[in-house]
Each structure stands twice: as C-alpha cells, then as structure tokens.
C-alpha cells in the first residue's frame, strides 16, 4: 500500500504535450493529405493549445512523398505565440530548407541500436552522429537559428536486437548534450518500453542532466503507453510526444500500432488533475476530422467512445421498464 502517492493527484502540475501526428503519423500514410488540409490541421492543433508541434520533415521528397510539401506547410501555418514549431531534419540539405522555412526547432533523429540505425537510416550510428553534428554546427552558426532536439530511437529496446542497455542510451545522449542541444527525446520506437524501465531511465537522465529538456516518446504497441507516461511523470518527466488519433507506426515492427494517442493522454492526465493546457473540445474536433483526411479509422479510443462523461441516452423503452419494475413493488 502506498497511501497518498502524489502520482494520482496531479495538483495542476504542468505537463507539456507535443504533437507528432503531422510528421510521425502522416509520413506512413499511403495517401497524400492535401497541403491546405495539413495547414488547417496544424492550425487547429495550435489553437487547441499543444506545447509543440512537429509540423513536417525536411527529408527527400522521393523517400517520403507524403511530406513533399514541407516548405509550404511550415511557411503558411499561423504561428501561435508560445507554440514551438518543430521539423525533422536528417542532414545539412534538410537543415538549409528548414532554416529557409523558419522552423523554430530541428528534431534530429538517430537510433541507439546499430541494427535499427542501419535498417532505417542506412548509416552506422557513428555516421549518423557525424552527419547530425554537421547539422548542429550549421544551426549554431545561423543568426537566430533554430533550437535543437535529438530523438534517440530504440531507447527502450530494438525490434531486431532486443534490449538496448541504458548505458548505451545515456552515452548517445551525452554526446549530443555535449554538443549543446536543448533537448533529448527518448523514443520507444516500437512499443517495447515498460513502466519499471521507463521510471529507471527517466530518473537516471533527470539526475544527470537536470537542465536538459527531456521528452518521452511512446508507442502503444503492447498497451503500455499511458502506464509508461505515468511512470515517466513519477520519475520527473514533464514532456511527452503524442499523435492525434494515435496515428503512426514503424515499418520494421509488423503489428506495431501508432504513437500514444494525444487525446487519450490529455483526457487521462486532465482527469488526474495535471495541467496540459490543452482544450479538449478543440483537440477532439481535430481528431474527429482525421478519418476523413487519411481515409481510415484511427486507433483513438476517445474518438470511438467519447470522453468519460459523454453520456448516452437511456433505452427507448426505459419508462416502460421502470413502470413494470415499480409495479412489482
């Protein structure tokens, strides 16, 4: 028994929710979502009060045609003060495009697993690190340049290698912290994280780098997404990636579902008394638009079932049922 565990009483502690559906979600969709719809979606997410939005990726349009309109989207969204508009940047060429389009933040990605990095990025980890170090140097040399965040894939396990030791994850984080990045995201790329592990790694990170912005990025592949968020909060984290509707996935882990669902996480945390700053009506409005945009149902349980107190009518014959029951005395 653990009477009085503060985890269950949020006490309006701020938790920052960062939307990745527009990048991590849309990049794996087979349909091309029209540019004006992407812009409207980002604007709706801004209006809902999310802390950060990973708007798009400055990758090769041939490699990921779904995001070939990166410049246009990032240039034409309405920038809401206080929201960080981030973009995935894989290399110097992408960085130049993202600077032109005025990304507030670069999100740099490599994997803690050598096998996953090779399979996904076709480079060794050392090669990825060197390429990202060049991007960091360019960003730092740019007047009013972007903030820098690095996302470390497979921080909680690799779907091909298995466990990835915490020391390996922290070593790669250290190399980027030494280069002066503002933030690090520990990514559970294929849903292998579990709460005990999350609490331990979060605690270790926070203890070593209290001033670095730490984000946790979970997938709900094995149903542990929200539990992992709570374990991370308990260990001192306050920033989470999430994807509207629960969009997303990973081609190297068949059966993997998407990122944790933004509206599910916000719904749960707000019920628990945490302050996400998100307007749930606006967020759910955007989520309910998704199936029409991507052409299929989305995993979101909140889109399916509504919020906790979205009530249902009594059966049509309820009064007759009641009268018959009361007549029995």
The residues annotated with a catalytic role in the active site are 250
Q: What is the DSSP letter of 261?
A: B
- Assess 322 for contact with a copy of itself (CB under 8 A): yes
- Assess 212 for contact with a copy of itself (CB under 8 A): no
Q: Which residues contact 287 (CB under 8 A, 6 or more apart)?
A: 244, 245, 262, 263, 298, 300, 302, 303
Write out the binding residues for a copy of itself, residues 139-178 only, by CB under 8 A.
Answer: 157, 159-163
Both tokens of residue 302?
């909140």
Q: 234, 275, 277, 282: which one contacts a copy of itself (CB under 8 A)?
A: 234
Q: How far is the CB of 114 from a copy of itself (least distance, A)?
A: 9
Interface characters, 259-278, with a copy of itself (x: CB under 8 A): --x--x--xx--xxx-----
Q: 143, 211, 292, 311: which one contacts a copy of itself (CB under 8 A)?
A: 311
Q: How far is the CB of 276 from a copy of itself (least distance, A)?
A: 14
Q: 220, 243, 259, 262: which one contacts a copy of itself (CB under 8 A)?
A: 220
What is the biggest distance separating any 2 CA atoms in the chain, rounded to whole angstroms?
Answer: 83
- Assess 82 for contact with a copy of itself (CB under 8 A): no
Are 223 and 188 in contact, with CB atoms under 8 Å apart? no
Q: Which is nearer to a copy of itself, 135 or 260 (CB)?
A: 260
SS3 content of the chain, % helix, strand, coil (to 5): 45, 15, 40
- Assess 316 for contact with a copy of itself (CB under 8 A): no
Q: Which is nearer to a copy of itself, 27 or 220 (CB)?
A: 220
- Assess 7 for contact with a copy of itself (CB under 8 A): yes
> Which residue bears the tokens 């240039």?
75
Q: 118, 133, 166, 168: which one contacts a copy of itself (CB under 8 A)?
A: 118
Q: How far is the CB of 281 from a copy of itself (least distance, A)?
A: 16
Q: Where are the beta strands (DSSP E) in 229-274?
A: 239-242
Cα separation, 96 vs 142, in Å, equals: 10
Both tokens of residue 14?
């701020």
Q: Which stretch binds a copy of itself (CB under 8 A): 36-44, 59-67, 78-86, 306-314?
A: 306-314
Neighbours of 272 (CB within 10 A): 16
Q: 222, 275, 282, 291: which one contacts a copy of itself (CB under 8 A)?
A: 222
DSSP 22-45: IIIIGGG-SS---HHHHHHHHHHH
């Amino acid at each position: 028994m653990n009477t009085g565990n503060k985890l269950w009483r949020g006490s309006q502690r701020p938790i920052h929710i960062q939307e990745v559906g527009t990048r991590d979600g849309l990049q794996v969709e087979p349909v091309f979502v029209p540019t004006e719809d992407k812009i409207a979606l980002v604007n709706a997410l801004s209006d809902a009060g999310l802390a950060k939005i990973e708007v798009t990726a400055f990758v090769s349009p041939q490699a990921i045609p779904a995001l070939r309109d990166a410049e246009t989207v990032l240039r034409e969204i309405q920038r809401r003060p206080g929201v960080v508009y981030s973009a995935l940047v894989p290399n110097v060429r992408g960085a130049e495009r993202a600077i032109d389009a005025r990304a507030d933040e670069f999100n740099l990605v490599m994997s803690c697993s050598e096998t996953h990095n090779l399979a996904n990025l076709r480079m060794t980890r050392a090669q990825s690190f060197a390429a990202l170090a060049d991007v960091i140097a360019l960003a730092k040399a740019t007047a009013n340049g972007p903030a820098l965040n690095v996302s470390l894939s497979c921080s909680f396990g690799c779907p091909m290698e298995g466990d990835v030791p915490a020391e390996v994850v922290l070593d790669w984080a250290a190399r980027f912290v030494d280069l002066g990045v503002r933030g690090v995201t520990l990514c559970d790329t294929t849903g292998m994280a579990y709460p005990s592990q999350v609490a331990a790694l979060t605690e270790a990170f926070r203890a070593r780098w209290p001033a670095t912005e730490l984000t946790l990025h979970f997938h709900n592949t094995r149903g542990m997404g929200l539990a992992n968020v709570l374990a991370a909060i308990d260990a001192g984290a306050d920033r989470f990636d999430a994807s509207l509707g629960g969009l997303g996935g990973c081609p190297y882990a068949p059966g993997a579902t998407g990122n944790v669902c933004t509206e599910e996480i916000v719904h749960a945390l707000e019920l628990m008394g945490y302050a996400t700053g998100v307007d749930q009506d606006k967020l759910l409005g955007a989520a309910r638009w998704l199936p029409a945009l991507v052409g299929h149902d989305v995993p979101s349980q909140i889109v399916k079932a509504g919020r906790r107190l979205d009530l249902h009518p009594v059966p049509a014959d309820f009064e007759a049922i009641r009268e018959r029951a009361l007549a029995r005395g």
